Amino acid sequence: MILGEGRWHAVSLAAALARRGLSSRRLAFVHLAFDPAAPGGLRCGPLARPPRAVVVRAIAAGSFEQVTLRLGLLRAFALSGIPVINPARAIEACVDKSEASFRLRLAGIPTPAVWVTEDPARAREIVLAEASPARPLVAKPLFGAQGRGIVRVTGPHELPSAEAVAGVWYLQRLVDRPEPCDYRVFVVDGEPVAAMCRRGRDWITNVRRGARGERWRPDAEAAELAVRAAAVLGTVFCGVDLVRDREGRTWVLEVNSMPAWRELVRASGVDVADRIARAVAERLA
């Protein structure tokens, strides 16, 4: 079962699974339910019984209750002995940027300094003490993705409103780069299987913001950091975002447990869906 939105990704993943003799269905979370009358207590839309494995492509935005239910369903599949890729705990850890940053730093992985608070007065104090035109901070939505809602902050006047950040200010030190690019390394089962440089039109280098992927081969340091970051956050597959500063030091910015890979395939030539399908097949074997 492939869960979530995104037809292109689901089609490519279904084709890769089919090449390994595995049939698949794409369902939305709304099709799932706890139901004591269903086999195993889990109703899976049109499926007569629970799937042999679950791949989570995406979890759509929703109310706190909806997201809690969706994560609970993933845990229920795992408790039933069904491989879930990625596990609910890994998704939670990656989606919550504050936890992800804390866990990376705790593991000794170089990641930019981060301050997180829901106190507007404290957020202002942080900006006054830490931000300047020469050393900006970046305000990001705690649960954001694809570059949405990212703001460069050099002073209190640029601090987003509470409404814009849902009452939580996540402030990350902006890494001073020699050019507007960062790096995405796709890790599957502890192996860096594909990578690209994302070259942006400005300082935000997400593909959805117009960045273009270029072929890039990670050196040993970048590959090792990506693999370590993926392991710390408990993912089976993920996209690890790296950046290099003007001194050549490599930093881990984020780990995405539900990454897109269309631009990565174009830039790298690697069949990413096939590597995920192999991970599924190995667990079923």
Kindly state whether residues 49 and 161 are assigned to the same domain.
no
- Does one domain contain both 234 and 159? no
- Same domain, yes or no, for 105 and 118? no
pLDDT, position 209: 62
The answer on 124 and 212 residing in a single domain is: no
Burial code (b: 16+ CB inside 10 Å, e: under 16) for 134-143 equals eebbbbbbbe
CATH number at residue 128: 3.30.1490
Mean pLDDT, residues 185-205 = 87
Q: What are the φ and ψ backbone dihedral angles of 136, each rounded to 5 degrees?
A: -70, 160
Residue 284 in any domain: the answer is no
The answer to whether residue 264 scores a pLDDT higher than 70 is yes
Confidence of residue 191 (pLDDT cuts 50, 70, 90): very high
**77 is a domain residue:** yes
Residues 184 and 98 in one domain: yes
Which range (84-93, 168-177, 207-216) has the least confidence?
207-216
The confidence score (pLDDT) of residue 280 equals: 97
272-284 and 7-19 are packed helices; what angle lies between their axes, rounded to 10 degrees? 50
- Structural domain includes residue 64: yes
CATH classification of the domain holding 185? 3.30.470.20
Check whether residue 157 and residue 257 sit in a common domain. no
Minimal CA–CA distance to 229: which of 218, 220, 241? Answer: 241
Task: Give the end-to-end CA distance of the chain in Å, rounded to a whole number.
Answer: 17
Same domain, 192 and 228: yes
pLDDT for 118: 96
* Domain identity same for 191 and 154: no
pLDDT digits (tens, 9 = 90+) for 83-98: 999 999 999 999 999 9
Tokens of 18: 């089919």
Predicted confidence (pLDDT) at residue 38 exceeds the cutoff of 80: yes
Domain C-terminal end among 173, 190, 207:
173
Domain boundary, last residue among 144, 173, 202: 173
Q: What percent of the chain has pLDDT over 70?
A: 94
Q: 212-243, pLDDT tens digit by residue?
A: 889 999 999 999 999 999 999 999 999 999 99
Mean pLDDT, residues 184-194: 97
Classify residue 223: in a domain, yes or no. yes
CB 251 within 8 A of CB 112: yes
**Domain-embedded: residue 249:** yes
Per DSSP bridges, beta strands 54-56 and 84-85 are parallel
How many structural domains does the chain have?
3
Range of the domain at 31: 2-86
Q: How far is CA 205 from the centre of its chain?
A: 15
What pTM was computed for the model?
0.92
Distance of alpha carbon 196 from alpha carbon 214, whole angstroms: 5
- Closest by alpha carbon to 13, among 85, 61, 76, 75? 85
183 and 241: one domain? yes
Residue 19 lies in a domain: yes
Do residues 125 and 213 share a domain? Answer: no
Which CATH number belongs to the domain containing residue 79 in this structure?
Answer: 3.40.50
Residues 227 and 266 in one domain: yes
| Domain end among 123, 146, 173 | 173
56 shares a domain with 181: no
